[in-house]
Amino acid sequence: MGKIVITGASSEIGLAIARRLSALGKPLVLQYNSRKPAPDGLEAEWVQADFSRREELERFIAGLSDVEILVNAAAVTHTGLLPQMEDTQIDAMLSVNVVAATLLCRAVIPEMCHKRRGIIVNLSSVTAGKVYRGQSVYGGTKAYLEAFTKGLAAEYAKKGLRCNCVAPGSIESGSMQKLIIQTGRDDLQEVNAAHRFGTPEDVAAAVAFLCSDDASYVNGAVLHVDGGYWLGL
């Protein structure tokens, strides 16, 4: 039985994805950086690794085997105009959002090809296509991830692999909760037609769909979970 590997699993979105995919009955390997969630009945192997450190990323990759589903949900977000950003902030976003996701995919693809079965879901962001001030680097890393995902789908669809993206919008979790406090709930809710924030469970449902047989003919897609953000409202 193949394993499900989820990176960034200690975040609210990552944990919601883990809970949703646990219903598949496959062994779960969940990566976290520094904060391991308290046990809540979720049976899983938790592995600590700071993906901004190359040696820890390589250690995590070396421990992987028999991966059937890979969900790259680990991400670093820093907001600021480029001249004002620290080198460490830029390095962290590139290391986690781009390099780690790329090397993880490279590590699991050969065995997936051998078995003629595998699913990769990369978490992008609406900022990949609609970038606001202060998001140039972060949005750029997510745009890379979408193009990278489409490239993998083109290269390995004939080998039985499916590679897709989920692009969340205004999800009430993590950094968005801080932004709500700073900016105000009503102003932020105006950015999408639904006039409300999404939940981590909304994102998890989209990931679960892409990991299911119902999505067997979906490959190289970017599934937006944004409440109508792209309508420009």
73 in helix, strand or coil?
Answer: coil
Active-site positions? 138
What residue ranges do the domains of the chain occupy?
3-170+199-227
pLDDT digits 0-9 by tens, 52-93: 999 999 999 999 999 999 999 999 999 999 999 999 999 999
Q: 143, 149, 145: which is closest to 127 by C-alpha?
A: 143
Contact 67, 112 (CB under 8 A): yes
pLDDT at residue 182 tops 50: no
pLDDT at residue 113 tops 80: yes
d(CA 179, CA 173): 10
User: What is the CATH code of the structural domain delimited by 3-170+199-227?
Assistant: 3.40.50.720
pLDDT at residue 155 tops 70: yes
Per-residue confidence (pLDDT) for residue 191, from 0 to 100: 59
- pLDDT, mean over the chain: 90
* Nearby residues of 27 by Cβ (< 8 Å), 6 or more positions away: 1, 3, 4, 44, 45
User: If you count them, how many residues does the chain have?
Assistant: 233
Residues paired with residue 5 on neighbouring β-strands, in sequence order: 29, 70
d(CA 5, CA 63): 11
d(CA 163, CA 76): 22
Residue 196 binned pLDDT confidence (cut-offs 50, 70, 90): confident
127 in helix, strand or coil?
Answer: helix
- Alpha-carbon Rg of the chain, whole angstroms? 17
222 in helix, strand or coil?
Answer: strand
pLDDT at residue 120 tops 80: yes
pLDDT at residue 181 tops 80: no
pLDDT digits 0-9 by tens, 205-226: 999 999 999 999 999 999 999 8
* Nearby residues of 83 by Cβ (< 8 Å), 6 or more positions away: none
Read off the pTM.
0.91
Q: Which two tokens stand for residue 59?
A: 């250690």
pLDDT digits 0-9 by tens, 156-180: 999 999 999 999 988 876 655 444 4
